[in-house]
Amino acid sequence: MLANDYEVTIGLEVHCQVRTATKMFCSCRAGFGYEPNTNVCPTCLGMPGALPVLNEYAIERTILAGLLLGSRIPEVSKWDRKNYFYPDMPKNYQTSQLDLPLCIGGAVPLYEWAFPANSKTPMAQDGVVRRVKLDHIHLEEDAAKLTHYAGYSLVDYNRGGTPLMEIVSAPDLHTPDEAYAYLKSLQQIMVCADISNADMEKGEMRCDVNVSLRPKGQQKLGEKIEMKNINSMSAARRALIYEIRRQTEELNAGIAQVQSTRRWDDALGESIVMRTKENAHDYRYHTCPDLIPVRTALLVQRAERHMPELPEARRKRLMQEYGLPVTDATTLVGDGELCACFEQTVQAGAPSRKTANWMINTLSSVLTEKETTAADAPLSPADFADIIALVEQGIVSTNQAREVLGYMWQHPGTHAPVAADALGYKKADSGALEIIVDATLAENQDMVEMIRSGNAKLVNALTGKVMKTANPKPNPKLVTELILARLQTMEK
């Protein structure tokens, strides 16, 4: 049988850290990038006699996630212990939720723009291809972080105890591309609502993939294969493509599938069996005796007051209100803090389309280099508007504007014109610049003739020569324009 003769059923279990100042059951700092094992206490280390205290804000944010996804919030939710022995869970159990989670049902919209760039996007209505049903969302504590080396492993308990939502879909996905779009759409909703950073590279969002195959027309689902260790959307897509092919080949060879958990090795491009026939009863769930059930009514009321603009609505507004092309609007929606900074910069007087272009292509790369965000940068939106104004006025080029940004970053409080002046960038005197251009052309007649013969690339070389001579440093774009104008005059 061909792959098309089987019906593929996919479910995703997405683990998403809630963005909070402290951990789920103690007052230790939550967050990424601290020295290993520095944000720990007897509670998150599982010491005997240490008792948990609920993080109310984490519960409220989880309820907000449920409301955004159309989930039903039960009046009462309770806590359970999930028992297992792993080195990343020092208590030998995880405080989680089983039969009374915070959110029940709901759906994740598959946004049209969330599908992989190299895939064929299905038809969409109002920006949404379809909605994937959810089973539930529950809240638990994250495990510690293990780093494996040859012959030994290191454990960092800083992550242990961080509030962690588990968003469990129904078996309602059918292709690797849909799974990719599901993760992308869900990530953007969490970011837009400021519920989570959802950065998969930092482990703030991770997923387990469940997939089964059955002959078309058969009602009963095939045996479920779960794959763990999925740390990116593209990895989830690759893992599913591999696993669907593997199961197809084995089923065609008469090899029955056995319910199992496999580890996805993205470097090898294959999945490896970890264990078989694992079910909920294997964890011996029981009600947590240290935590009372939560009555949700007041928390729901508080969450409803913070309902944000969803990604598709924000994307459309950016296009309509600021005239942004779809690619720029989609990119900005993908970074909530950068998007907010963009709007504030435009409100400070910067032109919208050039601001979006500069932020996406220049500022975002600087933020990545500095390992920070727009909100934590030492410059304000008004500062960014002043830098862009220098470009608009022709004082600096886009590349030079990056140098101005770097100077202001190193000298907080410096205004953009002052930074440009310190770097030697001033608005060039057109007459003086024309004299330098004419002199450069006269000194390089051989290059001029080659340009007139069709070697246009040499214009850049002439621009470089003018830039070396001119003082103060002019905008190279203006220099190039002057050279081209002079060359055109020569031809006449």
Per-residue 3-state assignment (H helix, E strand, C coil) for 150-196: CCEEEEECCCCCCEEEEEEECCCECCHHHHHHHHHHHHHHHHHCCCC
CA distance 459 to 481: 10
Measured between alpha carbons, how far is 76 from 67 in angstroms, rounded to an integer? 16
- Residue count of the chain, please give it: 492
Find the radius of gyration of the CA atoms of the chain.
28
Yes or no: say if 367 and 373 are a contact pair by the CB < 8 Å rule.
yes
Strand-strand pairing, 128-141 and 152-156: unpaired
Query: Beta partners for 22?
Result: 29
Q: What is the pLDDT of residue 43?
A: 96
pTM above 0.95, yes or no: no
Q: Could you say which residues of the chain have pLDDT below 70? A: 1-3, 277-281, 426-438, 441-442, 446, 448-449, 451-459, 462-463, 466-467, 469-492
Q: How far apart are CA 396 and CA 22, in angstroms?
A: 44
- E strand map for 59-127: 76-77, 80-83, 93-96, 103-104, 107-111
96-101-106 Cα angle (round to 5): 130
Largest CA distance in the chain: 92
Which residue pairs from 463-469 have beta carbons closer than 8 angstroms and sit at least 24 positions apart in sequence?
465/440, 466/433, 466/436, 466/437, 466/440, 469/436, 469/439, 469/440
The distance in angstroms from the start CA to the end CA of the chain is 72
Domains contained in the chain, CATH given: 3-300 (no CATH), 311-422 (no CATH), 430-491 (1.10.10)
pLDDT score, position 449: 65
- Using the 8-state DSSP alphabet, how is residue 457 labeled? T
Question: How high is the pLDDT of residue 164?
Answer: 97
Helix or strand run (H / E) with residue 235: helix 233-252
Spatial contact of 163 and 169, defined as CB atoms under 8 Å apart: no
Neighbour-count burial of 122, counting CB atoms closer than 10 A to its CB (0-12 exposed, 13-18 middle, 19+ buried): middle
Distance CA 476, CA 456 (A): 16
Q: 331 is written with which tokens?
A: 């990119």
The pLDDT tens digits for 34-89 are: 999 999 999 999 999 999 999 999 999 999 999 999 999 999 999 999 998 878 98
